[in-house]
Amino acid sequence: MLDAGKPLSQPLVVTLMLSVEWLMEEGAMVPPNTKTKVAIVRGKARQLLLAERVGLNLLSRCSGIASV
């Protein structure tokens, strides 16, 4: 299960001219009920806000698939 989320987010990152620093490897276990940073995303405020909902939906979908 390598690269489950990174390829999905790449078009969004490129289109909106954002930069992403991944802090966790694909498939890493994230403890429940914690505030664990997965990535740091940098860019202009408008582009970050445009990407926020799509990025959260992608992360949620990948996390749901990974936990089944």
What digits encode the pLDDT tens for the residues 7-51? 777 888 899 999 988 888 877 777 778 888 888 989 999 999 988
User: Are residues 56 and 37 in contact, defined by beta-carbon separation less than 8 angstroms?
Assistant: no
Domain edges within the chain: 6-66
Cα separation, 15 vs 11, in Å, equals 6
Instruction: Tell whether pTM > 0.85.
Output: no
Q: Strand 19-22 vs strand 39-42: parallel, antiparallel, or unpaired?
A: antiparallel
